Structure 1
Amino acid sequence: MFFRSKPPETVQPVDDASYGAVTTGKGRPTPKRKTAEAANRRPLVPTDRKAAAKSGRIAARAQRDLEYRAMQNGDEKHMPAKDMGPVRRYVRDYVDARWNLGEFFLPVAMLFVVATFVFAQNRAASVVVVFTLYAVVLVTIIDALLMWRRLKKKLYDKFGEASFLRRIALYAIMRAFQIRRARLPRPQVKHGEYPV
């Protein structure tokens, strides 16, 4: 009652040609652990340090050149890690499609610096120039924050609620403050071509 009955044994037909032939394993003995570890051991410091450093510099330069070319032509596969991914691509396209006051900030600020030197002798005019520069800074910051607010809503709609949005804010605002021609990765859209 408590024992199982064994299934009947089935007899396999024997091939006469292979009868009596001995099958071997992998054809060689398993190496000793010490031998296997010695084969995998490499020195921590290369024997020719100058040659290793030179080859490392050449490899790093080749990687930087590859990443720079990718940022020039928009190749997502070879971009640096900080610019990879569909979210960052969407952010770049949105910022590049918009006319941002921040992209004009650097030339305007240079004009105000020159104006402070020109009006250095006239105290009232120099005070007006400085306060006007502060007003321009304030307006460009407000414009960048409004841009981020709209972009954040679009990112929520497209990619869902996620923790990455906090890190993306600085990425978007810093791109908005760069001159359009100096942006890397290069803009892939024209003004007004917002991503869907």
Structure 2
Amino acid sequence: MKLPGRRRDEAQSAASADSLVEAVYLDGAGGPTSARGAVTAPKGRPTPKRSATAKRRGPVAPAPMTSAEARARRKSLKGPKLSKEERQVAKAQRRERIADRRERMLAGDDSALLERDRGPVRRYARDIVDSRRNLLGLFMPVALGLMFIMIAVPQVQYYISPAMMLLMVLMAVDGVMVARKVGRMADEKFPDNVESRWKLGLYAASRASTVRRMRAPRPQVRRGERLD
């Protein structure tokens, strides 16, 4: 059904739309533009950043489709295959290096020590702990002995529990004493020391709680020896 005057309205709407498109998208030189005059850069090529990244990365190898291809790729990355004699020689050399490093660490060589054990301040703290008799070092053997006694004779559990509590209190007091002693003597010997007493005290208490023959590095001083 046609209404009167509709063709005239459609013609006017099409004319106004064409004029709006020309005003918004076309400038005087025929280039694309926006309503505010901002020119959009032509596309058709990647940005410089993407191009540089693609050149740096290079081609990516396709993923292996089967387990055989994966094994072959792992073998190629490992390099040439060694013979049995060469593997034995390499294993012996590796064991020798590990044993040498461990021996130097136990002897106190600063280059082979862990980061927590390095430095003259930590060495001095170890000497202070090793030169005294520490009640903390009896914790593990005494605890194991009391546990075996409790398992063998359950009737004495009533008496062992208070003894364990008393022993733990004495060990805590001994740990505080050795930590304070190490902090005070380290400050006197090394006035420029910037390490906190809290960390140094924890380090000393941790070493004191270990049995003497199991300490690493090995003790360099005898029990009762006086330190400068």
Q: Aligning the two structures, in what range does the TM-score lie when normalised by the shorter sequence?
A: 0.5 to 0.7
Equivalent residue number for residue 141 of structure 2? 107
| TM-score normalised by length of structure 1 | 0.64
Equivalent residue number for residue 167 of structure 1? 199
Tell which deviates more after alignment, 77-86 or 92-101: 77-86
Equivalent residue number for residue 112 of structure 2? 78
Letter in 1 for 2:77: D
Are the counterparts in 1 of residues 182 and 201 from structure 2 also a CA contact under 8 Å? no
Counterparts in 2 of 1:91 and 1:50: CA distance versus 1, 3 Å: farther
Match among 174, 178, 193 for residue 210 of structure 2: 178
Equivalent residue number for residue 126 of structure 2? 92
Give the count of matched residue pairs. Answer: 147
Higher helix residue share = 2
Are the counterparts in 1 of residues 137 and 210 from structure 2 also a CA contact under 8 Å? yes
Counterparts in 2 of 1:146 and 1:60: CA distance versus 1, 3 Å: farther
Letter in 2 for 1:48: L
Are the counterparts in 2 of residues 66 and 78 from structure 1 also a CA contact under 8 Å? no
Counterparts in 2 of 1:163 and 1:89: CA distance versus 1, 3 Å: closer
Letter in 2 for 1:159: F
CA–CA separation in structure 1 for the residues paired with 2:172 and 2:152: 27
The reply to whether residue 192 of structure 1 matches residue 224 of structure 2 is: yes
CA–CA separation in structure 2 for the residues paired with 1:179 and 1:50: 46
Letter in 2 for 1:170: L
Are the counterparts in 2 of residues 98 and 192 from structure 1 also a CA contact under 8 Å? yes
Letter in 2 for 1:128: Y
Deviation sequence 1:101-159 (CA, Å, 0-9, x none): 11122111111101211332x2xx31210110111111111111111111111111111
Counterparts in 2 of 1:50 and 1:66: CA distance versus 1, 3 Å: farther
How large is the Cα RMSD of the aligned pairs?
2.9
Equivalent residue number for residue 131 of structure 1? 162
Identity of aligned residues (%): 29
SS in 1 for 2:224: coil
1:18-29 → structure 2 map (5 Å cutoff): none
Equivalent residue number for residue 144 of structure 1? 175
Are the counterparts in 1 of residues 179 and 200 from structure 2 also a CA contact under 8 Å? no
| Structure with the larger RCO, 1 or 2 (CA within 8 Å, 6+ apart) | 1
Gaps of 5+ in 1: 1-46
Deviation sequence 1:22-64 (CA, Å, 0-9, x none): xxxxxxxxxxxxxxxxxxxxxxxxx63467xx9xx99986664
Gaps of 5+ in 2: 1-75, 81-86
CA–CA separation in structure 2 for the residues paired with 1:149 and 1:164: 12
Letter in 2 for 1:90: Y
Are the counterparts in 2 of residues 116 and 130 from structure 1 also a CA contact under 8 Å? no
CA–CA separation in structure 1 for the residues paired with 2:196 and 2:92: 34
The reply to whether residue 158 of structure 1 matches residue 189 of structure 2 is: yes
